[in-house]
Structure 1
Amino acid sequence: MVIRWNVTIPQLTGDQPRTAYVYLPTCYESDPQRRFPVLYMFDGHNVFFDSDATYGKCWGMKEYLDYTDTPLIVAAVECNHGANNERLSEYSPYDFRNPRFGKVKAAGRETMEWFIHSFKPEVDSRYRTLPDRRHTFIAGSSMGGLMSLYAVTEYNRVFSRAAALSPSLWVSPSGLAKTIADADITAGSVVYMDYGARELSHHEAMRAEFSKVADQLLQRRVLLNTRIVPAGEHCEASWEKQLPFCIPALMYGL
């Protein structure tokens, strides 16, 4: 079951509403005493429904979790769809400049502060969650993948596990490296990180950047699961196929 409601992020878009989604597992109603881990996700409009997805294809998250009876709540929020790179700003922890997008001002910290101090408390109050760090995860793709890496390192006190699919490591390699180096990361934090083999050709030196980030996470004693996805593309249809890899990685050992 997926529930929708409108939320606002005042520090980013004032009183402009956007859609929040919560998936409740198949056993939620039949086991009323049970509490569940929560996976927070970016680009919520692309997670559950083709009809909401930017390019007409979602991750198929509901179908996968229903089919596997995974005991997990998923809470996701729609991005800013503004025409002036607002999504890039919202999902970047670092200022950056790019030939295609121009200068982008970081609002990733403001986004995460809202997730932690507004959205998470609302989800925890509405639903039977396990609100502690051990059972709180975060995931996303592309810029959302970059934000997931940022969240699990910079806000490791909140998120113990993350999945970063096709993360936009090109945005600020030095910024991310500094975040990982300086963050207070609890040993045994879990990160799943992948990248599509076909999309590697679209970003010069991406293979090297992927390797650098993986090595740095391992040096910080993160439990890391990495993959270069055969024939993987930069799209929801490809990310949907990675659910049997990333969801078990997040749930393993709980």
Structure 2
Amino acid sequence: MRLLAIVVALLAFTAAPLAAEDAGRLIEYERVPAAGLPDQRLTIWLPLGYDAVSGRYPVLYMHDGHNLFDVAKSNFNKIWAADTAMLAAAASGEVEPHIIIGIWAPGQNRYRQYLPRSAYDAAAGSLRTQMDAAANGTVVSDRYLDWIAGPLKTWVDAAFRTRPGRDDTAIVGSSMGGLMSCYAFLERPEVFGRAGCVSSHWPAVDPRVVEGESERVKALWDGWFAARLGQPDGRRVWMDHGTATLDAYYAPYQQVVDARFAAAGWQRGRDWESRVYEGAEHEENAWAARLPEIFGWLLAKDRNVAR
């Protein structure tokens, strides 16, 4: 009954249309209640032609929704241009247009909402202390994931013409959002068939602080994936990082994660991919530049062909 009440409340919201152009249609929901979390905010992109046809669409959930579409609403005056990237990927004929659910980050609560709870619970020593300091409150990513996979997805599938199955449901984010996307993929394999973990912030805290404990951090992620990865079963994961600014710290950790995927029997190029972008920085313009490529691989219709 509680879930039903939340869904009914969501359905009752009045959507504010942001755009109705040849590039698709944006709708914003400014205040969305979510149990045990700060109020959430959504910007939803409906693909070009959504209003003119009766077909159903796969769905992509993305974190940091304020940085996806509109420069005026972004944190740093730059965006992923996720709608443009989706149009480019769809134009190739290899990707079906996806409805994009952009979930805004809740300001100062972003870290504690995106830090994977199960990884936090496994952390110890100074790493755990640094996580606690950065979170400045209870880590609530488990509640956030429950909300996305439960009430939010239920509402999305009721309010829009979606294909709700696992293989038509993807989740993508960067930095801490990259960790959150991997978390969703590992903890809800029945919900999310594809995940994009872009410039994932594997150090989890200031990388300079944990440099002396890098082996402990590597062991944390290796054990975390080993306990949850399982077999591909048709699922697909994209991971990447640049080599400049904050991304310059990620290679040693990403290599451990890559090795775990290989050891678990996942086939690179088919089930998972991990790429390095020389010179790319940890920022939205860099992610926007490679997002059409990410979508082209991650969301491709034919999941059995390595590209």
**1:218 paired residue number:** 262
Determine if the alignment matches structure 1 residue 62 to structure 2 residue 88: no
Q: Which residue, out of 163, 184, 188, partners 1:155?
A: 188
Q: Which residue, out of 189, 196, 202, partners 1:169?
A: 202
Contact 2:194-2:299 at 8 Å conserved across structures: no
1:175 CA displacement: 4.1
Determine if the alignment matches structure 1 residue 119 to structure 2 residue 152: yes
- What RMSD, in angstroms, separates the aligned Cα atoms of the two structures? 2.0
The runs of 5 or more residues in structure 2 that have no matched partner are: 1-24, 91-95, 121-127, 205-216, 303-307
Task: Note the alpha carbon deviations across 1:19-46, whole angstroms, 9 max, x for none.
Answer: 21111111312321x1111111111111
Task: Note the alpha carbon deviations across 1:56-92, whole angstroms, 9 max, x for none.
Answer: 111111222234545111112111112xxx2111100
Distance (whole Å) between structure 2 residues aligned to residue 115 and residue 3 of structure 1: 18
Distance (whole Å) between structure 1 residues aligned to residue 63 and residue 300 of structure 2: 22
Distance (whole Å) between structure 2 residues aligned to residue 103 and residue 25 of structure 1: 37
Rg (Cα) greater in structure: 2
**1:20 paired residue number:** 42
**1:88 paired residue number:** 111
Contact 1:154-1:179 at 8 Å conserved across structures: no
Contact 2:173-2:196 at 8 Å conserved across structures: yes
1:133 CA displacement: 0.5
Contact 2:47-2:97 at 8 Å conserved across structures: yes
Number of equivalenced pairs: 244
1:200 CA displacement: 6.0
SS of equivalent residue, structure 1 residue 241 = helix
One-letter amino acid of the counterpart of residue 192, structure 2: F
Determine if the alignment matches structure 1 residue 232 to structure 2 residue 265: no
Identity %: 27
Distance 1:221 1:22, change over 3 A: farther
Matches within 5 A, 1:181-200: 181-183=226-228, 185-187=230-232, 188-199=234-245
**1:39 paired residue number:** 60
**1:102 paired residue number:** 133
**1:72 paired residue number:** 98
Distance (whole Å) between structure 2 residues aligned to residue 195 and residue 113 of structure 1: 27
TM-score (norm 1): 0.88
Distance (whole Å) between structure 2 residues aligned to residue 118 and residue 151 of structure 1: 15
Determine if the alignment matches structure 1 residue 244 to structure 2 residue 292: yes
Distance (whole Å) between structure 2 residues aligned to residue 174 and residue 110 of structure 1: 25
Q: Which residue, out of 64, 69, 74, partners 1:53?
A: 74
**2:165 paired residue number:** 132
One-letter amino acid of the counterpart of residue 218, structure 1: A
1:173 CA displacement: 4.2
**Quick check: 57-66 or 152-161, which moved more?**
57-66
Distance 1:246 1:201, change over 3 A: closer
Distance 1:97 1:245, change over 3 A: farther
Distance (whole Å) between structure 2 residues aligned to residue 2 and residue 66 of structure 1: 14
Contact 1:218-1:224 at 8 Å conserved across structures: no
